[in-house]
Each structure stands twice: as structure tokens, then as C-alpha cells.
Amino acid sequence: MESCVFCRIARGEIPSPFLYEDSELFAIRDIKPIAPTHILIIPKAHVPTLGEADVSLQGRMIEVARELAKKEGIAERGYRLVVNTGREAGQEVPHLHLHLIGGRPLRGLG
Ligand code: AMP
């Protein structure tokens, strides 16, 4: 996708340091973090929403999030994984991404 922000980051057109990368996925810090750790785990391919992701991709995204939570030192304290899916969930970027959020107490689901 030409203009998709996460596709552009995946192609290196928008500089954003990768915290993790493999052939399928990459992870970056959210540009507007809501907690000390706020990382996005993103497929390199343009998968619009969770609805289009196969089970293997879903599993890999969660596995990478678990590893990054350990690396960030928040695995024991606890963290939240969020996938906003579609309009009513407030998905702003129509390219699947998993939010890894932690490093402070998180209340409610808002
Ligand atoms: P969502 O509402 O789940 O679609 O969240 C999209 C997230 O992408 C928001 O938390 C944004 O702050 C984040 N975001 C948008 N553009 C960038 C960017 N260039 N680099 C890092 N994060 C971004």
C-alpha cells in the first residue's frame, strides 16, 4: 500500500527504529505513547485488520509481544495487549498492529 504509514515504515521510507524484526513482523515504539512502554507489533504485509490475519500470524504477534515485554522488564509486573479492530474500536491506522502497553498501573478498559 503506497500511502499506508506502517507500510512506509516497513519499507524504511519513514525512519523509525525497529525494536524487533523478522521476515514477517517488526516492532516500533508508538509515536504517542500512553505508558512508559508502548510498542506496536506490526506485520510487514498490508493486513488491514485482525479479521484478515491467519492464526499463525496472530500467534506470532503475541509471541513477539511476550518477548518484548520481557526485554522491557514488564513481564512480571504485567502489561496489556490491545488490537483495535474496525471503526467502533477506534482503529486509526488500517494496517493490523498489536499494542504492547505497560510500565504503569493500567485501570479499566476505557
Ligand atoms: P490504533 O488506534 O489502534 O489504529 O492505533 C494507531 C497507533 O499508531 C496510535 O497509537 C498512533 O500513535 C500510532 N502511530 C501512528 N503513526 C505512527 C508512527 N509514524 N510511528 C509510530 N506510531 C504511530
Per-residue pLDDT band at 110 (split at 50, 70, 90): low
What's the mean pLDDT in 2-30? 97
For ligand 1, the distance from its centroid to the CA atom of residue 55, given in whole angstroms, is 23
Q: What Cα–Cα distance (Å) separates residue 20 from each residue in 2, 48, 52, 64, 87?
A: 23, 21, 22, 8, 28
Ligand 1 centroid, distance to 31 Cα (angstroms):
6
Nearest atom within ligand 1 for CA of residue 28: 21
pLDDT of residue 67: 98
pLDDT score of 109: 84
Q: Which residues are catalytic?
A: 97
% the chain with pLDDT above 90:
95
Say yes or no: CB of residue 12 within 6 Å of ligand 1.
Answer: no
- Taking the model in full, what pTM does it have? 0.97
State residue 88's pLDDT score. Answer: 96
Q: What's the gap in Å between 89 CA and the centre of ligand 1?
A: 14
CA nearest neighbour of 1 among 52, 45, 50, 58: 45
How far apart are the C-alpha atoms of 65 and 73, rounded to whole Å? Answer: 12
Residue 65 contacts residue 41 (beta carbons within 8 Å): yes
pLDDT in tens, 29-88: 999 999 999 999 999 999 999 999 999 999 999 999 999 999 999 999 999 999 999 999
